[in-house]
Structure 1
Amino acid sequence: MKFPVKKNPILILFVLALIPLGIIGLFTEGLAEGWVGLIIMIVVSIPLLWALIRSYHEITEDSLIVTFGPIIKTIPLSEIQSVSYTYNPLSSPAWTFKRIAITQSHYKTILISVPQDDKKFKKLLEAKCPLAKIELPVYRK
């Protein structure tokens, strides 16, 4: 089952605001500097736009597949030890500041974005990973 991720509107506006900056620089700077700025903005914007369009989590029979644009991580469900919320903004690509920390066996932790339907995501993870400690409190109905 696929779960689209939540997206913070401020982060989306920030990413979308980056695109015109390269074009504006082309006209306000010298021609050589403007082209360099435009190329840098294209290189930065393409992966971010890709991630904006293609960000989701998929729970299959035996794994959790995390997709963030060009980045795809597969986590075997049998290796998940615990799942909890975190607010660490520096450790993973995500469209919100609230993230989910997944601890695998051997104390390897992966941070992922929060899905839009976190209640259904939690229930499915609990069903697929009965031995894992899943601490995802849902505060809304």
Structure 2
Amino acid sequence: MRFYSEKSPILSLILWGTATAALITGIIDINEEGLGPIVIGVLLALFIGWLWLTTYYEITDNILLVSAGPIRKRIDIYTIRSLNKTRNPVSSPALSFDRIEIVFNMYDSVIISPKDKEAFAAELKKINPDIKVNLKN
């Protein structure tokens, strides 16, 4: 089962605003700086688009796959200890600030932002009922 990342307006503005600014700067500076700035702007926009389209969390058998552009993290669901609501702004495979921290193994964690957090947690608990879930404020 695949869960796509929630996409918050603020983070959308930050990401796409950065890409747009880089492209505009590249276009404005094309005569002075050559093609370098526009190439960088296009590459940045393509990278952000890649992240935008490929950020999801997939549950297959006992594996949770966290995907975001070049990031691919496989987590054994039986090692997940807890799901906790967080607004931690640290860089993560999440396109929203309304996030879940997944604590697994002894000290590992990853922060994600599935659209339907309750359904996501329920699917994980079907596989590992020992997961502690704290998605309330």
Measured against the shorter chain, the TM-score band is 0.7 to 0.9
Deviations 1:53-111 (A, max 9, x none): 12111111111111112211111011111111111112424211122111111211111
The residue number in structure 1 matching 2:4 is 4
Contact 2:26 2:39 (C-alpha < 8 Å) held by counterparts: no
Question: 5+ unaligned residues in a row in structure 2: which ranges?
Answer: none
The residue number in structure 2 matching 1:53 is 53
Question: 5+ unaligned residues in a row in structure 1: which ranges?
Answer: none
Percent of aligned pairs with the same residue?
Answer: 33
TM-score normalised over the length of structure 2: 0.85
Report how far residue 32 of structure 1 moved.
Answer: 4.6
Question: 1:102 & 1:34 partners in 2: Cα distance?
Answer: 45
The residue number in structure 1 matching 2:62 is 62
The residue number in structure 1 matching 2:119 is 120
Report how far residue 34 of structure 1 moved.
Answer: 5.3
SS in structure 2 opposite 1:92? coil
Report how far residue 24 of structure 1 moved.
Answer: 2.8
SS in structure 1 opposite 2:129? coil
Contact 2:86 2:101 (C-alpha < 8 Å) held by counterparts: yes
Q: How many residue pairs get matched?
A: 137
- The root-mean-square deviation of aligned C-alpha atoms, in Å, is 2.1
SS in structure 1 opposite 2:85? strand
The residue number in structure 1 matching 2:18 is 18
2:103 counterpart of 1:103: yes
Question: 1:53 & 1:24 partners in 2: Cα distance?
Answer: 23
Q: Which amino acid aligns with 2:90?
A: L
**Which 4+ residue blocks in structure 1 deviate beyond 4 angstroms?**
none
TM-score normalised over the length of structure 1: 0.83
